[in-house]
Structure 1
Amino acid sequence: MTRHNWQFWLTCLLLVMMYTALPISEAAAAGNPMPSVKLELTDQDDSIELTVAADNLTDMYAYDIVLSYDPALVQFLSSSTGLTGFFVNPFTGSVPGLNGKAKLATLIFKKISTGRTMLRLTQMKLVNSYLDLQTIDPEAKVEARISTRQIYGYSRSLGRGSHY
């Protein structure tokens, strides 16, 4: 009896594993690589500009990104999208989404304290023109190092003409 019970649970486990791997294998079989994301940091005097770019997009109609950072070191100021002319069409499926590479967003942060902070893209959701949702674990991060000089915007003399 226990042997049949063990075989039953093993069969159930294998079925679950096959079912969850099916969407991944369908995408691979279709020849569509998984979308990837890249973060690029531009350090300015008193702010940080973070650009979020994606590659291998297939019919991307909408997106949602979740970013984590240390609010004790940087303060979110603004964001803009890199997608010109992008809008939500009430008739989905009639207008194709973006394919290939795209600059998704530019985020501006104000430097408020010294130290190091990791800006991490923790989650990304993509929606195609047929409203199919795809959740991606982007694994994208970039480190920002903030010095006292960058926060206050000046150099202080350390003697004998030395500046930091």
Structure 2
Amino acid sequence: MSLSENQPGARRRPRDVAAAIAAAAIAMLGTSMVLAPAASADNVDSISISAPSTADEGDTITVTVPVDSATDLYAYELTVSYDPDLLSYDADSAAFPEGGHDTAIEGTDTLTFAHTRLGTSPGLDGEQMLVTFTMTVLDGGATAITLEDASFLDSAGESTALVEPTSAEIALTAAPTPSPTTSSPSPSASTSPATSTPTPTQSASTDTALSSDPETGSLPSTGGNVIPFLIAVPLIALGAFLIIRNKKEAVQ
């Protein structure tokens, strides 16, 4: 049974958590227990949370919550907070010590992990890895994964709690923004400038009417100057004919 199933994602006071853990332990052991007031985590030594100090967008990072030394640690519940805009919990990635009942509950910006030994199983002693899980980096920025609360229970029902939160600082790098790709324009088909074949001009030598006079070097008269000449020739011929005829009549 989950130690926080009635309030998924909600943070619970260490005293309430300890009571829930103890109730579960009582049900499993079938004996009565007396709970001590919450105090410093006397049955665990040097609890911490660790993660890579740097990561890039898209990376999967591993987060661990170890203790250097545990003494008869029968059950515990851990509350971890994080920034959901930068990190995403990988579902079903939590791993716990063997030989117990485990629960992982995902809230809006918290993760709650619980572990309880079963039946007459002995509590955990010595160096322990309380939970290991993975997260995916969503964006860049400075952030922290913080162990906010923790409650611990020994096999005699004595409960203790985390003294103060502890964090793992992480510098996340966003993926570079791809630069827009520009395609080179296809060279347009070269257009040859339209050329027209010049019309050859009429040669002056082909027109005899425009040839120059070999003696004077002047062009012959054309147009209106020809008409008087054509009229004068028949008149001269007529005058000559009349003179000849008159001479013949006089001789007769």
Q: Under TM normalisation by the shorter chain, which class is it?
A: 0.5 to 0.7
Structure 1 residue aligned with 2:98: 84
CA-to-partner distance for each residue in 1:132-156, whole Å, 9 max, x for gaps?
Answer: 221112532111111123xxxx896
Return the match for 1:48 from 61, 73, 77. Answer: 61
Structure 2 residue aligned with 1:112: 138
TM-score, length-normalised on structure 1?
0.62
Q: 1:117 to 1:35 in 2, by over 3 A?
A: same
Structure 2 residue aligned with 1:123: 149
Q: 1:148 to 1:98 in 2, by over 3 A?
A: same
Please list every run of 5 or more consecutive structure 1 residues that lacks an aligned counterpart in the other structure.
1-21, 158-164
Structure 2 residue aligned with 1:140: 166
Secondary structure, in 3 states, of the residue corresponding to 2:100?
coil
Contact 1:53 1:103 in 2 (8 A): yes
Among the aligned pairs, what percent are the same residue?
25
Question: In 2, Cα distance between the equivalents of 1:52 and 1:116?
Answer: 20
- Show the 5 A alignment for 1:1-164: 35-42=45-52, 43=55, 46-78=59-91, 79-87=93-101, 88=116, 91=119, 94-149=120-175
CA-to-partner distance for each residue in 1:32-82, whole Å, 9 max, x for gaps?
Answer: 775221222145862221011012211001111011111111111133224
Question: In 2, Cα distance between the equivalents of 1:114 and 1:142?
Answer: 16
Structure holding more strand per residue? 1
Contact 1:36 1:138 in 2 (8 A): no
Q: 1:112 to 1:90 in 2, by over 3 A?
A: closer
Structure 2 residue aligned with 1:4: none
Question: In 1, Cα distance between the equivalents of 2:65 and 2:38?
Answer: 26
Please list every run of 5 or more consecutive structure 2 residues that lacks an aligned counterpart in the other structure.
1-36, 102-115, 180-252
Question: In 2, Cα distance between the equivalents of 1:63 and 1:89?
Answer: 9
Aligned length: 125
Shift of 1:98: 0.8
Counterpart AA for 1:83: P
What RMSD, in angstroms, separates the aligned Cα atoms of the two structures?
3.1
Question: In 2, Cα distance between the equivalents of 1:137 and 1:75?
Answer: 27
Structure label with greater radius of gyration: 2
Question: In 2, Cα distance between the equivalents of 1:105 and 1:89?
Answer: 14
Which region of structure 1 is more displaced relative to structure 2, 133-142 or 32-41?
A: 32-41
Contact 1:82 1:102 in 2 (8 A): no
Counterpart AA for 1:38: S
